[in-house]
Amino acid sequence: MREADFYERLENGVVHCLLCPQDCRIRPGKTGFCRIRANQDGTLMALKYGRCASYAMDPIEKKPLYHFHPGTYIFSLGAFGCNLRCRHCQNWELSQGDGEDVEMPPVRAVDIARSWHRPGRRCIGLAYTYSEPLVWYEQVIETARLAREHDFKNVLVTNGYVRSEPLEELLPLIDAMNVDVKAFSDSFYREVCSGRLEPVLRTVERAHGTGCHVEVTCLLIPGLNDSPEEVEALAGWLAGVSKDIPLHFSRYFPSWKMTRPPTPLETLKKARDIAAERLHHVYLGNVWEMPRSETLCPSCGAVLVRREGFAAEAVELEGEKCRKCERSTSIRND
């Protein structure tokens, strides 16, 4: 562990964490809402710095990032802890649990990414993922700095729930993000996730505005966030940021504290059709019945990328342009 960034000392040994909008004021001996930042004798400590609960070499499509170096791999790692408490969390063993983890100082993470780079399996960098990387902030920023020295990309798979100052410090090191927008309703965030919507939208807008490649995922839950009106509002807001930002609708399955049945396929297809009226690229995820997907050129309809499961193949993509009509695409492929 190490001393945390972004906090202030208050009276009586209390510390005020300034990393995320949960705004925790933590008494000595206690942890914050995310459970991995703790007040030890008046100093805020990042408990999971240098520790890692899960790591693997994943296809970039699995993050999901469909428009960021398709067909490549990324060394993915994460720790325990999260600053939201979504009742349906699909990864609650990590986000809400604690248990065995391994030593993973930043230098080791970058070394593993380098050693796993093989012909035919291009590793483009590191993805901070699995639980919530923003509460693992010190590990992420130090590893990202080191990764850049080795010409690696940095990817964040995140709930986007962070305050402005830490976000601004981190963004110059992050090449791509997938941000989970869990619903387009503040009441959903308050009642289901113990958070708020607005900071998440601000993270998407700010990240895109600084040139970071952004994709958005929304897990549709029957009866909670899947109404046509809400889907249209989400797509309309995202189109206002950029029509080129890919939107992934992901299928929910019962998990942790939520027992509703899985999202019907028809709901997902309907959401895709509604959002596709506003956005150029809308995808479905967690849907094994429909394993194929394609990215089409928004101008001429040529197939730019073809996917089967997590395997992707560039078809009419030349660098970042459509080979047929030469339109610039939103696919990063340098």
Binding to ligand SF4 by residue 46, rule CB under 6 A? no
Interaction of residue 37 with ligand SF4, rule CB under 6 A: yes
Q: Is 291 exposed, middle or buried (0-12, 13-18, 19+ CB in 10 A)?
A: exposed
Question: Which residue has the closest beta carbon to ligand SF4?
Answer: 32
CA angle 164, 166, 168 (to 5 degrees): 65
> Interacting stretch for ligand SF4, rule CB under 6 A, among 13-21, 177-185, 256-264, 319-327?
13-21
Give the three-class secondary structure for 153. strand
In this chain, which of 19, 214, 247, 314 binds ligand SF4, going by CB under 6 A? 19
The DSSP bridge partners found for residue 125 are 153
CA distances from 68 to 95, 263, 301, 319 (A): 26, 27, 19, 11
Contact (Cβ atoms closer than 8 angstroms) between residue 12 and residue 39: no
Query: Is 179 or 331 the residue whose CB approaches ligand SF4 more closely?
Result: 179
Cα first-last separation, the chain? 36
Tell me whether residue 24 or residue 284 sits nearer to ligand SF4 (CB atom): 24
The distance of closest approach from Cβ of residue 89 to ligand SF4 in the complex, given in angstroms and rounded to an integer, is: 15
Cβ-contact 80, 101 below 8 angstroms:
yes
d(Cα 74, Cα 117) in Å, to the nearest integer?
A: 9
Q: Which is nearer to ligand SF4, 22 or 225 (CB)?
A: 22
Rounded distance, CA 69 to CA 330, Å? 11
Amino acid letter, 113? A
Per CB under 6 A, the list member of 39, 83, 286, 330 interacting with ligand SF4 is 83
Name residues contacting ligand SF4, limited to 219-278 (CB under 6 A).
none
Contact (Cβ atoms closer than 8 angstroms) between residue 304 and residue 331: yes
Q: Which stretch binds ligand SF4 (CB under 6 A): 33-41, 255-263, 277-285, 306-314?
A: 33-41
| Shortest distance (Å) from residue 81 CB to ligand SF4 | 8
By CB under 6 A, name the one of 11, 20, 42, 308 that touches ligand SF4.
Answer: 20
User: Are 88 and 252 contacting, i.e. CB atoms less than 8 angstroms apart?
Assistant: yes
Selected from 3, 23, 198, 294, the binder of ligand SF4 by CB under 6 A is 23
Burial of 120 (0-12, 13-18, 19+ CB in 10 A): exposed
Considering the complex, state which of residue 133 and residue 246 has its C-beta at the smaller distance from ligand SF4: 133
How many amino acids of this chain bind ligand SF4 (CB under 6 A)?
Answer: 12
By CB under 6 A, name the one of 9, 22, 270, 294 that touches ligand SF4.
22
Binding mask 123-162 for ligand SF4 (x = CB under 6 A): ------------x---------------------------
Q: Does 34 participate in binding ligand SF4 (rule CB under 6 A)?
A: yes
Taking the complex as a whole, the smallest distance from the CB of residue 84 to ligand SF4 amounts, in Å, to: 9
Collapsing DSSP to helix, strand or coil, 67 comes out as: coil
Q: Which residues pair with 177 in a beta bridge?
A: 156, 214
Applying CB under 6 A, the residues found at the interface with ligand SF4 are 17, 19-20, 22-24, 32-34, 37, 83, 135
